[in-house]
A and B are shown apart, each in its own frame.
Chain A
Amino acid sequence: MAGPIINDTTTKTKEKKITIDPITRLEGHGKIEIFLNDQGNVENAYLQVPELRGFERFCIGRHVMELPVLTNRLCGVCPAAHHIASTKALDAVFDAKPTETAKKLRELFYMGQYTHSHIAHFYALAAADFVLGPSAPSNKRNVLGVVDAVGVPIGAEVIKHRSYGQKVQEIIGGRATHPVFGLPGGVSKQISEEERVQMEEMAKSCVEFGKFTIKLFHDVVLANKDYLNLILNQDAYYLNSYYMGMVDKDNKSNFYDGDIRVVDQTGKEVLKFKPSQYLDVIAEHVEPWTYMKMPYLKKVGWKGFVTGPDSGIYRVGPLGRINVCTGYTTPLAQKEYEVLAKTMKDLGVKGPVNHTLAFHWARVIELQYAAERMLQLVSDKSITSDDIRGPFGQPKEGVGICEAPRGTLIHHYASDKDGLCTKINMIVATTNNYAAINTSVIQAAKALIKNGEVSPGLLNKVEMAFRCYDPCNSCGTHALNGGPALEVTVKRRDGSVLTKQTNF
């Protein structure tokens, strides 16, 4: 195969507004708008996300036991994360302590979700930028182009292991996509020894696939000097933000349960809190041009789209988690974590990894961890025990938090004495990252677009600054008519369209 295409030819634009529009359907899609000044340099950029109206009102008055099934309908991308956060919120609402078996089954299920989600993002969405190059023709820069480049057998392995992740969720959760098994204090169904053995075989294969993926990341991305330079580009892809993520009692990364840890730009712990304390830590900023709120650290404050110690913007997700933890509890993920730490140290990086494109490296380490943890849990024969439901009390108020693949996910419910929902608040992963994503987009646009010179590849590099967060706009993102497109519209100051470029 020919090498990846890193750069393409730019053309000069006289327009003041550039729109990058990844259409998912004609209504309700996110888009980036970039505004240029008279010199053709970037004045500002905005990431707008679609509106989804009335979810809170929809939930109020329903029985709280319905919420794990309703809230997971918010999203066709990570319903399992909503199901887990919601089930944990119900544990708190009903003052219920899940049994050990129930905890193991929930976490095993959740490792299936991570395996599926991280494989899908890395291979189907991110890999094209690295295997084919950010400036490859847009009709080739997709998962089909990746399969053409790496070969059909590898494509088949991708589909197989992503499907294993789904199968594990289906066996435990009742359904692969919108699960129905979480209950306060436990789960609704035990698993059989036959199912355990079936999942164990899949988990073993996923561990091997995790190893393969890490090797591929090294061979394709890290061994390519141009990509390494892209990752290390501090002008375009670098934010010295705060970081947030869940850790266990030893500060090792944990996706299912633990305290939430926040570190500063030097890696120092500045906060550690229980789910029930989240409102003491997080406040939300509102901007007039978007529907989504922007959470920030209350004690630091909102200072606009800037980072540093005085700005309360924090990052969650793979990069957030890898920066707040001190490592992993499984050997292969820990080994790769140490490789990342040493590589960064050798490059002169002190403290957390602030390099935005390192999200991808963190994600493949997490894929390895999820597969190893899946194997650990499913190899424990006691997981087939029938002790799957603990006692629970009267409903009141409670918070549940887990780490969604895209970052910290918070569900907060209040109930009346009959179990009817009186209040609901959710902060989803992409919302936690929203201010940071917008800041990353501004930074990349300012660094990459100079003197009105633009090209499809250059605009894709701007898009890479937010794609690595794996953003999800928390609504039905499926699309029949639209699909993932990149549309660049150049407008005059009066709003009329002068030129348009699309990749379809």
Chain B
Amino acid sequence: MKTLVLGVGNPILSDDGVGIHVARALRDKHLPNVAVEELPASGLELLDVVLDYDKVVIVDAIKTNEGVPGEYYVLEEKDFERSVHGASPHGINIATALALGRRVVPGRMPKEVVFIAVEADDLVNVSEKLTDRVRSALPEIVERVLREIS
């Protein structure tokens, strides 16, 4: 079974980079049979990366109205069904990219995609550092990803 952990985000945009931080922590563990990639973009780029894996765990930042920074949600593709649309001026989202892949190259798409969505605090200030609450949550998030791929 081929497994990929994919950290998505911008590593110089504060908590937007949490997925990248998680990916780097996992890479340092040199896990056997698990690929770890960073993706500082999204949309169609995502397709290039996830093809031909059996399982993909995507770690990304999320910002919800009532969310507590550092908390995380474990989501599946079906949780994004309502956001599969494409009227944006500048990009298609992850859910649309995956849906496109399932429509066009179904045989090469992962059987399972799991999202670990980490509640962000700051997505505006340019910084290589995570905010305190998100940084404190990193070990727990890394553990959760390890459980997901074990």
Residue numbers of A with Cβ under 8 A of B are 22, 24-28, 30, 50-55, 57-58, 70, 73, 76-77, 79, 120, 124-125, 128, 138-139, 141-144, 147, 152, 155-156, 158-159, 162-163, 166, 176-178, 460, 463, 466-467, 470-473, 475-486, 503-504
Q: Which residues of A contact B105 (CB under 8 A)?
A: 156, 159
B45 touches A22 (CB 8 A): no
Q: Which residues of B contact A503 (CB under 8 A)?
A: 85, 87
Which of chain B's residues 112-150 have a Cβ closer than 8 Å to chain A? 115, 117, 123-127
Q: How far in angstroms is the closest Cβ of chain B from A137?
A: 10
Query: Which of B10, B44, B65 makes the CB contact (< 8 A) with A120?
Result: B44
| Residue B50 interfacial (CB < 8 Å) | no
A144 touches B103 (CB 8 A): yes
| Residue B26 interfacial (CB < 8 Å) | no
- With A76-B42, A120-B44 in contact, is A138–B8 under 8 Å at CB? no
Q: Which residues of A contact B84 (CB under 8 A)?
A: 142, 144, 483
Q: How far in angstroms is the closest Cβ of chain A from B42?
A: 3
B89 touches A463 (CB 8 A): yes
Q: Which residues of A contact B91 (CB under 8 A)?
A: 24, 76-77, 125, 477-478, 484
| Residue B36 interfacial (CB < 8 Å) | no
Known: A53-B124, A120-B43, A466-B89. 5 other contacts (CB 8 A): A27-B123, A73-B40, A138-B87, A478-B41, A480-B61
B8 touches A125 (CB 8 A): no
- 26 A-B pairs, CB-CB below 8 angstroms? A22-B88, A55-B126, A77-B90, A120-B44, A124-B86, A124-B92, A125-B92, A138-B87, A141-B85, A144-B99, A152-B103, A159-B100, A159-B105, A178-B40, A466-B89, A478-B8, A478-B9, A478-B43, A479-B42, A480-B60, A480-B93, A481-B62, A482-B83, A484-B87, A484-B89, A485-B88
Query: Which of B16, B45, B92 makes the CB contact (< 8 A) with A143?
Result: B92
Q: Which of B8, B12, B61 has the most CB of A within 10 A?
A: B12
A76 touches B44 (CB 8 A): no
A73 touches B124 (CB 8 A): no
Which residue of B has the minimal Cβ distance to A477?
B91
| Residue B78 interfacial (CB < 8 Å) | no
Q: Which residues of A contact B5 (CB under 8 A)?
A: none
How many interface contacts (CB-CB < 8 Å) are there between A and B? 195
B87 touches A485 (CB 8 A): yes
- With A460-B87, A480-B115, A484-B88 in contact, is A27–B94 under 8 Å at CB? no
Query: Which of A143, A176, A480, A504 makes the CB contact (< 8 A) with B48?
Result: A176
Which residue of A has the minimal Cβ distance to B86?
A142
| Residue B82 interfacial (CB < 8 Å) | yes
Per-residue A-contact encoding for B15-48, CB less than 8 Å = 1, 0 else = 0100000000000000000000001111111011
Q: How far in angstroms is the closest Cβ of chain A from B50?
A: 12
Distance in angstroms between the alpha carbons of A504 and B82 in the assembled complex: 6
A24 touches B88 (CB 8 A): yes
Q: How far in angstroms is the closest Cβ of chain B from A234?
A: 23
Q: Which of B12, B91, B93, B123 has the most CB of A within 10 A?
A: B91
Query: Which of A128, A476, A504 makes the CB contact (< 8 A) with B10?
Result: A476
Q: Which residues of A contact B39 (CB under 8 A)?
A: 177
A26 touches B41 (CB 8 A): no
A477 touches B40 (CB 8 A): no
Which residue of A has the minimal Cβ distance to B45?
A177
Q: Which of A54, A76, A125, A478 has the most CB of B within 10 A?
A: A478
